[in-house]
Structure 1
């Protein structure tokens, strides 16, 4: 009887140990599953990596293209024309201002060759060169060329050309996606489109979007003056004017 009682107690202890082990495993699994669920939830709120973040950059979704464009001004030259008209001078002045603002390379004056008005065109080219000088263009900014004109064209034009750059972005208005339902918070087709189009429209010179401008040459007279003062031990900074002084306002007193 005693032996049977001991055996029964040992079996009961083993059963309890198994139950405790099973309960421990279940608790451990529950905690592990809960930890995984929390990790997945937090990862959904995490920041994008570099590759995903680039998809939300308007520069890649709506890139601005910059293309060269040739700007042209044609002035008909009849055989008996000896001077520029007021309208011609006004057109040349506007053309020169446009070139100084956004032009690249040289402004080229092309005169007809082989046409009946060739002599008149030579005279108009000289006046055009003077008009461009009056508009502020120096000799290095103006180039000259000749083109073969038809012998039957008695009013072959003198042609002014220069190269500029034009910026354009992709068109907007793509409403193909449902903006009211976006559970993944992904980008929309129109994201950044208006901003890119506005930038393309207002940039002063689209060539700046291709690369930085070259530095202007140093002002030689000022540079020589500063170097000479430095050599003789004088103060090199500019003189201070009386207008640069200031005082604390007495409002707070």
Structure 2
């Protein structure tokens, strides 16, 4: 007869009771996740830039070019689909706005937005709009987490050992504010092509028994700062 069986059963029961005392009273609480309680919503949005076009103005001003360059940088970081350039139709400055397109294309190209990334479309403008704007726009995504500030429970009087309702909310809001492109929360980005030249170089060196590490220049240094030495 195995006299250790009751002892083993008692130890197992003690372990179960000990785990129950950790505060997990169900699978939902055991799998608590701030991302589920304070989810980040990702919604499409349209970023726009209006460039005023006074009748007779020969082209973009320096301020206009700077604004277009900044807009192009935002497009390269978070843009999805083409960057659309909309010109007014029916306004007194329609011809002048069309003349702006060359400057706009040049400024965008200098900022890394090539012609195949652009789309053009007219929009109806009132005949009273003497300076109807030329409009640049692109699709982007914005992220927003749930509002924080739920202090409805008190840890001093709640003995269930559960996370408070506000737990993790600030972290989720910080993540929503800091992420470079909220579209990454919807699906991963595609991989860029491999560097075939570098791969062949590494393979050749490997076959020859040479070091495959990139050569370091005199400007490179991995030494620790000697300020405190």
Q: TM-score, normalised on structure 1?
A: 0.71
> Relative CO higher for 1 or 2, CA cutoff 8 Å, sep ≥ 6?
2
**Contact preservation (8 Å) 2:23, 2:162:** no
Partner of residue 182, structure 2: 206
Partner of residue 91, structure 2: 115
Alpha-carbon shift at residue 189 of structure 1 (Å): 1.0
Equivalents in 1 of 2:106, 2:86: separation in Å?
15
Equivalents in 2 of 1:66, 1:217: separation in Å?
28
Which of 186, 195, 216 aligns to 2:192? It is: 216
Residues matched between the structures, number: 210
Alpha-carbon shift at residue 107 of structure 1 (Å): 1.1
Note the 1:79-90 alignment, pairs <5 A: 79-90=55-66
Equivalents in 2 of 1:158, 1:143: separation in Å?
13
Which of 117, 126, 133 aligns to 1:150? It is: 126
Structure 2 gaps of 5+ residues are: 1-9, 223-229
Which of 162, 169, 193 aligns to 1:193? It is: 169
Which of 93, 96, 114 aligns to 1:138? It is: 114
Alpha-carbon shift at residue 161 of structure 1 (Å): 0.4
**Contact preservation (8 Å) 2:88, 2:94:** yes
Partner of residue 74, structure 2: 98
SS in 2 for 1:69: strand
Equivalents in 2 of 1:194, 1:175: separation in Å?
13
> Are 1:165 and 2:176 matched, yes or no?
no
Equivalents in 2 of 1:92, 1:105: separation in Å?
18
Q: TM-score, normalised on structure 2?
A: 0.77
**Greater share of helix:** 1
Equivalents in 2 of 1:126, 1:92: separation in Å?
13
Partner of residue 174, structure 1: 150
Cα RMSD after superposing both structures? 3.3
Which of 53, 71, 77 aligns to 2:30? It is: 53
- When Rg is computed on C-alpha atoms for both structures, the one with the higher figure is 1
Equivalents in 2 of 1:46, 1:179: separation in Å?
15
